[in-house]
Amino acid sequence: MGDLKLCVAGMNHKTAPVEIREKFALKDEKLEGAILELNSLPSVDECMILSTCNRVEFYFVTRNDNPFLSVKTFLSKLSGLSEDELNKYLYFKSQEEAVRHGFRVASSLDSMVIGEPQIIGQFKDAFAKAKEMGTAGVVINRFCETALKVSKRVRTETGIARNAVSISFAAVELAKKIFGYLSDKNVAIIGAGEMAELAVKHLITSGVNKVFVVNRTLEKAEKLAKEFGGKAFKLEEIESVLTMADIVISSTGAPGYVITKEMIEKVESKRHGRPLFLIDIAVPRDIDPAIDKIENVYLFDIDNLKEVVEANLEERKRAAKEAEGIIEGCVHRFLHWLKEHEVAPLIAELKQKAERIRKEELAKRLSKMNLTEEQKEQVDYLTQIIINKLLHTPITTFRQKAPDEKAYIKVFREIFGLTKE
């Protein structure tokens, strides 16, 4: 029997195309069945499956010296792909590599978009499912709890999630920079583009005051306004909306400008100097770029937002380097714990043996001695102290040395007459 190991076999968006990943799509009963089947393999002691759109990973604990042999057969059966075919897409990692990989995944360093938050919830769900199915033992529990703590440290101690990396969220971040707070701001959405809708949803989450929806077809505007709890307007009423809005997001399919410089100049006096933030996500553009020269008007088109996103991505890459340092320290601490965990049963066995001998010998001697109850208690206490002091040094030395030097385990067993492996 080999050393206790944490292993992972998996594939992700970097190693396998979607048509292969979807063969491993595991949800509900299929996921539960796969967890139980993996856990039933003779070489697997504990396991957990992480299944998302971009990755499927099978974490397991084993003492087998060829940990991936039976797991690969299991994965072949699960996917319907031959083992040779699977070899093109799967990665296999053991011990230090597996622990480091798991911590990087939970911290979103291995995600398609570095710093994205969804993976934390997905990792928690996978851990919860393993606990529910009874396949998470001491090692998987410790591994997942540590991975989630590492993830929290990475997000709080680095700037990995500080800056927006989507066009829609970048627009909201810019609005916050311009206005400081959004609770008394009105937002108008012109057209019904997907990115514009997403930006409005982010703005609503940020607590904007009112939402206006402007569309060439009033019926469509009313439908969208109902979704956002806002008010609908026809495109012909756009000047009226421009007097009330603080943030305007435009995403129509119009061939020409929907908002012109003349319109803004016309409503300027009614706005009484209030800043106006315009976001033009349409291609071709909806908003006349000449508007940007008007005082108190801030115009950003999709290229401007892409520049913000790219700059933010660079920031996240810099933060990721800091995160790798945090992860590295946690990997070594976890591996040390795993090695200590492996020798813990031997230490417990020695203590139990010493206590059994102490009690047996004490009972024999005390029965032949004419002592009071108080004197018996003192003798009992004295023998406990002697045993604890005698075992302290060998146990401390064993706990420190054995995780790194396996010879200590054999010597420890032989010296104290403990059970064989």
SS3 letters for 223-276?
HHHHHHCCEEEEHHHHHHHHHHCCEEEEECCCCCCCECHHHHHHHHHHHCCCCE
Task: Residue 192: give its domain's CATH number.
Answer: 3.40.50.720
Spatial CB neighbours of 219, under 8 Å, sequence gap ≥ 6: none
Tell me, what's the pLDDT at 421?
52
φ, ψ of residue 94 to 5 degrees: the values are -135, 145
DSSP of 65-127: SSTTHHHHHHHHHHHS--HHHHHTT-EEEETHHHHHHHHHHHTTTTSSSTT-SHHHHHHHHHH
Tell me, what's the pLDDT at 339?
83
Within this chain, do residues 152 and 280 fall inside the same structural domain, yes or no? no
| Inside any domain, residue 330 | no
Per-residue confidence band for 54, with pLDDT thresholds at 50, 70 and 90 = confident
The mean per-residue pLDDT over the stretch 142-159 comes to 94
Please give the residue that has the higher pLDDT: either 159 or 120. 120
Within this chain, do residues 215 and 350 fall inside the same structural domain, yes or no? no
Within this chain, do residues 197 and 249 fall inside the same structural domain, yes or no? yes
Cβ density class 143-180: b for 16+ within 10 Å, e for less? bbebbbebbebbbeebbbbebbbbbbbbbbbbbeebbe
Tell me, what's the pLDDT at 403?
64
Give the model confidence (pLDDT) of 226-274 as tens digits: 888 899 999 999 999 999 999 998 988 888 899 999 999 999 889 988 9
Give the model confidence (pLDDT) of 271-307 as tens digits: 988 999 998 888 788 999 999 889 899 998 888 888 8
CA pair distance 288, 277, nearest whole angstrom: 14
Q: What are the structure tokens assigned to 96, written together?
A: 């230090």
Nearest to 323 by CA among 156, 120, 95, 144: 156
CA pair distance 29, 257, nearest whole angstrom: 52
| Inside any domain, residue 321 | no
Please give the residue that has the higher pLDDT: either 142 or 348. 142
Per-residue confidence band for 397, with pLDDT thresholds at 50, 70 and 90 = confident
Please give the residue that has the higher pLDDT: either 355 or 4. 355
Within this chain, do residues 191 and 231 fall inside the same structural domain, yes or no? yes
Question: Which of 163, 178, 212 is the C-terminal boundary of a domain?
Answer: 163
| Inside any domain, residue 328 | no
Within this chain, do residues 15 and 117 fall inside the same structural domain, yes or no? yes
Q: Which of 7, 47, 53, 330 is catalytic?
A: 53
CB distance 118 to 109 below 8 Å: no
Strand partners, 276: 297
Q: Is it the case that residue 221 has pLDDT exceeding 60?
A: yes
Using DSSP's 3-state secondary structure scheme, residue 401 falls into helix
The mean per-residue pLDDT over the stretch 381-404 comes to 85
| Inside any domain, residue 347 | yes
CA pair distance 105, 114, nearest whole angstrom: 10
* Cα 225 to the center of its chain, rounded Å: 34
Tell me, what's the pLDDT at 8?
97
Residue 357: which domain range? 339-416
| Inside any domain, residue 265 | yes
Nearest to 43 by CA among 11, 65, 27, 76: 65
Task: Residue 139: give its domain's CATH number.
Answer: 3.30.460.30
In one-letter notation, the amino acid at residue 290 is A
Within this chain, do residues 11 and 156 fall inside the same structural domain, yes or no? yes
Within this chain, do residues 80 and 213 fall inside the same structural domain, yes or no? no
Question: Which of 111, 141, 163 is the C-terminal boundary of a domain?
Answer: 163
Using DSSP's 3-state secondary structure scheme, residue 47 falls into strand
| Inside any domain, residue 369 | yes
Within this chain, do residues 119 and 31 fall inside the same structural domain, yes or no? yes
Per-residue confidence band for 56, with pLDDT thresholds at 50, 70 and 90 = very high
Q: Please say if 47 is a catalytic residue.
A: no
Please give the residue that has the higher pLDDT: either 217 or 166. 217
Binding residue ranges? 52-55, 111, 116-118, 122, 191-196
Per-residue confidence band for 121, with pLDDT thresholds at 50, 70 and 90 = very high
Helix, strand, coil percentages, rounded to 5, for the chain: 60, 15, 25
Q: Is it the case that residue 419 has pLDDT exceeding 80?
A: no
Give the model confidence (pLDDT) of 159-198 as tens digits: 887 776 677 777 787 888 888 888 889 999 998 667 667 7
Q: How many domains does the chain have?
A: 3
Choose the weakest-confidence range: 40-54, 118-132, 307-321: 307-321
Within this chain, do residues 18 and 146 fall inside the same structural domain, yes or no? yes
CB distance 48 to 37 below 8 Å: no
| Inside any domain, residue 389 | yes
CA pair distance 398, 348, nearest whole angstrom: 12
In one-letter notation, the amino acid at residue 88 is K
Helix (H) or strand (E) holding 277: strand 276-280
Nearest to 254 by CA among 222, 218, 216: 216
Per-residue confidence band for 224, with pLDDT thresholds at 50, 70 and 90 = confident
Within this chain, do residues 298 and 367 fall inside the same structural domain, yes or no? no
CA pair distance 190, 196, nearest whole angstrom: 8
CA pair distance 123, 154, nearest whole angstrom: 15
Give the model confidence (pLDDT) of 81-107 as tens digits: 999 999 999 999 999 999 999 999 999
Within this chain, do residues 83 and 12 fall inside the same structural domain, yes or no? yes
Cis peptide before 117 (omega within 30 of 0): no
CA pair distance 9, 189, nearest whole angstrom: 46
Within this chain, do residues 131 and 171 fall inside the same structural domain, yes or no? no
Binding residue ranges for substrate? 52-55, 111, 116-118, 122
Question: Which of 286, 304, 322 is the C-terminal boundary of a domain?
Answer: 304
The mean per-residue pLDDT over the stretch 363-379 comes to 90
- Cα distances from 386 to residues 372, 389, 418, in angstroms, run 21, 5, 20
CB distance 284 to 301 below 8 Å: no
Binding residue ranges for NADP(+)? 191-196
CA pair distance 94, 406, nearest whole angstrom: 19
Tell me, what's the pLDDT at 49?
97
| Inside any domain, residue 312 | no
Tell me, what's the pLDDT at 169?
76
Nearest to 191 by CA among 285, 322, 128: 285
